[in-house]
Amino acid sequence: MSLILYGAPLSPFVRKVDVSLREKGVEFELESVNILPMPDWFKEISPARRIPVLRDTAVGTEGRVGTIPDSSAICAYVEQKFPAPPLYPTDPYARGRAVWLEEYCDSDLSGVVGMGIFRPIQFARFAGKDPDLATARQNYAERLPGPLDYLEGELDGHEFLVGSTLTIADITAVCVLTQLELVAGPLDASRWPALAGLVKRLSARPSFVPCLEICHKIVKQDPIDLAGD
């Protein structure tokens, strides 16, 4: 086994790489890294101070050599090294759209879900405090609908975000939205039917199940209905 994925299963970015590797049938080792505080050896290979980092021991076993930080860079590397089955379209325009949607979900959507909803709830629990439901509810009501409306429009009733097969765009979107489900439950299928359907289908895929099972063991509390009073 030459690939080591450093990170934490609860991270949607780690989950994205985990799922991508499993979709391709690539063997890898997931080595958990506690980033609070981040160990010095990890800072050396993650200059942006973020997870995940991938190490390909066939390239290097110590220090920075053989490592790639950032989930998008890792997935691009994995696609080149293990091209089948492809997770990035071959058509130039479709590939561009898939990469754009990957970036959108990693930044705009993840910013709302992670910093605006997940952290106020789950990080407070980890610290032994009450969840900051006021902040989470405000972000759920005011900031989340915009990205969800956009992705619903991109699906436009189709099974996948780009083309007729699974791509990195779908994987990234669902990895972020399963993060939301952990603390706030499923999406409103009456408002975002295509997106809710995408999350439900992909969450049941063998590539998603192992990481999500770990996450549900970590987040033991029931989801909170943020849309309620």
Domain at 175, CATH number: 1.20.1050.10
31 and 65 inside one domain:
yes
Residue 229's pLDDT is 56
Average pLDDT of the chain, as a whole number: 96
Query: Which structural domain range is residue 41 located in?
Result: 3-81
Query: And the tokens for 7?
Result: 């990170």
Question: The CATH number of the domain where 58 resides is what?
Answer: 3.40.30.10
Q: Indicate whether 199 pLDDT > 60.
A: yes
Q: Indicate whether 36 pLDDT > 80.
A: no
Type of residue numbered 208: F
Confidence of residue 1 (pLDDT cuts 50, 70, 90): low
Do 162 and 101 touch, CB atoms closer than 8 A? yes
97 and 75 inside one domain:
no
More confident residue, 33 or 143: 143
- Mean pLDDT confidence for 2-10: 95
Q: Is 53 part of any domain? A: yes
Per-residue pLDDT reduced to its tens digit, 7-31: 999 999 999 999 999 999 999 999 9
d(CA 168, CA 78): 12
Confidence of residue 35 (pLDDT cuts 50, 70, 90): confident
Query: And the tokens for 150?
Result: 């956009």
Strand order of the β-sheet with 29-32 is 29-32, 3-7, 53-56, 67-69
Q: Which of 81, 107, 137 is the last residue of a domain?
A: 81
Do 153 and 218 touch, CB atoms closer than 8 A? no
Length of the chain measured in residues: 229
Per-residue pLDDT reduced to its tens digit, 46-55: 999 999 999 9
Phi and psi, residue 194, nearest 5°: -70, -40
Q: Is 152 part of any domain? A: yes
Residue 186's pLDDT is 96
| Cα 26 off chain centre by | 18
Per-residue pLDDT reduced to its tens digit, 47-85: 999 999 999 999 999 999 999 999 999 999 999 999 999
Do 109 and 151 touch, CB atoms closer than 8 A? yes
99 and 199 inside one domain:
yes
β pairing state of 29-32 and 3-7: parallel
124 and 57 inside one domain:
no
66 and 137 inside one domain:
no
- Mean pLDDT confidence for 214-219: 96
Q: Record the pTM.
A: 0.96
More confident residue, 88 or 228: 88
Count CA within 13 A, CB hemisphere, residue 213. 7
